A and B are shown apart, each in its own frame.
Chain A
Amino acid sequence: MIRAVGLTKSFGDFEAVKGIDLDVRRGEAFGFLGPNGAGKSSTMRMIAAVSPVSGGELSILGMDPAVDGPAIRGRLGVCPQEDTLDSELNVRDNLVVYARYFGISRSDSRARADELLEFVNLTEKARARVEDLSGGMKRRLTIARSLVSSPELLLLDEPTTGLDPQARHLLWDQLFRLKQQGVTLVITTHYMDEAEQLCDRLVVMDKGVIAAEGSPRDLIGRYSTREVAEVRFAVSGDDNPHQAYAEQLGDLGERVEVLPDRLLVYAEDGDTVLEAVHARGLRPVATLVRRSTLEDVFLRLTGRTLVD
């Protein structure tokens, strides 16, 4: 569906995307995981055939975006990071006018709008003004709008940023249903749980390059341990005492990461680590054992956390 080789994007002297290779297959849910400023949105805009490629090769649905932009866009659905809904129109009109852009007739546009409102649970809000919708409803409307043309490939740029947990789960459920219908999903996110929930395969992006690629489970297996013991010690003054504790605990796991407020000890068995911590006479104020996540993969690959 999407193939990129050495793809770059520059804005003046700034290189936002520094040569990435991609191969997205039909029917899969593919993710770009990375912090803000990693180059995810720039990549998405190139894939959406609205932003010219600066260098390298990009082919979408077998076509060149520089030549076949309108044809590519006709087969894509795009859910942009910022809502671009028309606040002067009501909910249903937003869908109807958008369907017209794809050359869908007036009566078919109306039927399609009603069908999609049903799909995203907004039928009751059909006549409401967009301004009066909650953030989650606007997001669902934007997703509904991206589906008016029955796209084969759906691009979702940070689909759940700013939503409350309930709204996120509702959206994930709808995206999952789309995937089951055979729609190829490309998602950018800086939420590791979103990437784990939705993506069959993903790339970890940082500072314009791809740091790693694989399924969420692969990546965790490759770059992290089964479990993580989180250990928090009392902080006094400006110094971070965790650095000193890290040296004392360094031998308890495969790896220790120091965060401003806690230590992460990577090991196969987190409880054993905690027992050893206590056995050494250390008294942490809080502890937690959990499974490794993509957040840990990101930390390992870049030395930083995803959400600053």
Chain B
Amino acid sequence: MSPLAPTGRLSTAAALSRLLPYWFTVTRRTWRGSVVSSFLTPVFYVVAMGVLLGGFIDGDPERLDGATSYLAFIVPGLVAAHAMQTAVADTSWPVFSNFKWNKVYDSMVATPITVRQVAIAHLSFVALRVAATCAVFDLVVAAFGVFETWWGPFVALAAQALTGAAFATLMYGFACRIDSDAAFGVVFRIGIFPLFLFSGAFFPVSNLGAVGERLAQLTPLWHGVNLSRMFSIDRIDWSLAALNLGVLLAVLVIGSRWAVSGLEKRLTT
């Protein structure tokens, strides 16, 4: 950058410090509406499935990927799956709306902020929100005695947040490339919902048969669920953990590029 051409381009950190106040302000004005979906719903799941349904299931570590109770098995998976759901909910209609209906993004890029920075700031905020939701969730379920070590839940939380962030980038990029929001309905029904059910949150994927198990293990959610669970129940296979982490990071990097290029195509006309 020559001193004669003051491009005024901000560093990503500077742009974040300018854009995050917007997201925090929106949250401060609208958080009440999201409390039910982001917090109460998972608690209902834990009570209904982990505690009550789990009461009918033998706590056999051999059949529960090493967990000593169904509750201990399902909780880390549920939190990871919940991270995915929160992330895709926050990056579907909200993103679409920001360039299609209320045009908040248009107002942002009329300032020194660039399109890329707008996308990164929104994704960072979603990641923060997912992490906060999962942290509260983990804190509540800790009272049920599901964590084996004091430090495991912190690593599990990082895995859950990473899972959410990875899915956020994918849905963000998708939202930027569709012309009608009806496409979200299709993705939620044939993509997100089956992932939620069959990626190992509710039962060990070995129950899906050899082919089903392989398929499940190809999904990013399974990697997030597995990572979250290994550290929650303290049955860690470090090489598998490295693989899980690698897959999630790869999705995050590729997804981020996809999200940024999607928004650039959308707003730069």
Contact = CB atoms under 8 A, between A and B. Distances in A.
Does A pair with B? yes
Interface of A: 11, 48, 50-52, 63, 67-74, 76, 78, 80, 82, 84-90, 93, 96-98, 100-103, 106, 145, 149
B112 A74 contact: yes
Contacts of B19: 100-101
B21 A68 contact: no
Contacts of B213: none
B106 A74 contact: no
B102 interface: yes
B10 interface: yes
B206 interface: no
Contacts of B102: 84-87
Contact of B112 (A67, A71, A106): A71
B206 to A, nearest CB: 45
Interface of B: 5-10, 14, 18-19, 21-22, 25-26, 29-30, 102-104, 106-114, 267-269
Given A71-B6, A86-B26, A103 B103 contact: no
Contacts, number: 98
Given A50-B106, A69-B114, A89-B26, 6 more contacts: A51-B269, A70-B113, A73-B110, A84-B104, A85-B102, A100-B22
Contacts of A100: 18-19, 21-22
Given A74-B112, A86-B104, A98-B107, A93 B25 contact: yes
A278 B262 CA distance: 67
A11 B38 CA distance: 42
B7 A80 contact: no
A52 B7 CA distance: 15
A102 B29 contact: no
Of the listed residues A90, A101, A102, the one surrounded by the most CB atoms of chain B closer than 10 A to its CB is A101
26 contacts: A68-B5, A68-B7, A69-B7, A69-B9, A70-B7, A70-B8, A70-B9, A70-B10, A70-B112, A73-B110, A73-B112, A76-B110, A80-B106, A84-B103, A84-B110, A86-B22, A86-B104, A89-B26, A97-B22, A100-B19, A100-B22, A101-B112, A102-B18, A102-B112, A103-B14, A103-B18
Q: Give the dominant DSSP class at A's interface.
A: mixed
Contacts of A88: 26, 29-30
B25 A96 contact: yes
Contact of A74 (B14, B26, B111): B111
Nearest to B117: A70
A68 B21 CA distance: 25
Contacts of A50: 106, 109-110, 267-268
Given A84-B103, A88-B30, A67 B7 contact: yes
Top 7 A-B residue pairs of the complex, sorted by shortest distance between their CB atoms: A71-B8, A70-B8, A84-B107, A84-B103, A101-B111, A70-B112, A74-B112
Contacts of A68: 5-8
Contacts of A101: 18-19, 22, 108, 111-113
Nearest to A74: B112
A145 B104 CA distance: 13
Contact of A89 (B10, B29, B111): B29
B101 to A, nearest CB: 9
Nearest to A49: B110
